[in-house]
Amino acid sequence: MSMQAKKPAKIRNKFALRLMPSVRLGAEKISASEGVSLNQFINVAIAEKVARVEHDRWAVNREPVDDAARADALDLLRRGGRLAPEPGDEVPAEYLDWKRRKGAAKASKSSQARVRAARG
């Protein structure tokens, strides 16, 4: 008697999905506002949920990061490179403007006073 591998079950791409009317209406409104079909919206929603569950399982089972590895990674990030960014990798000008505005707000005396007051 020869042992043959079982053929994998055929994956069906279509199946009936029963949704509560309120859920379907909400999904239809969102999919229309995003310019995608209800089918595409449901596919993306399921894919997002599957990815989240898989990530949560991975996070629970992964090896913990020890302090030495964390310190090495932070040291590497602090060093910074000497090479100029390649074309397309530059920091966008609007980000630099936003960063300056945000930095100026942080440096203002009123902001510093609020931080000190919150700390007590």
Confidence of residue 119 (pLDDT cuts 50, 70, 90): low
- For residues 90 and 101, give the distance between their C-alpha atoms in angstroms, rounded to a whole number: 19
pTM: 0.49
Please indicate whether residue 3 or residue 24 has the higher confidence score (pLDDT).
24
- For residues 97 and 63, give the distance between their C-alpha atoms in angstroms, rounded to a whole number: 40
Residue 119, H or E segment: helix 109-119
Tens-digit pLDDT profile for residues 52-108: 999 999 999 998 889 999 999 999 888 877 888 888 888 888 887 776 666 655 555
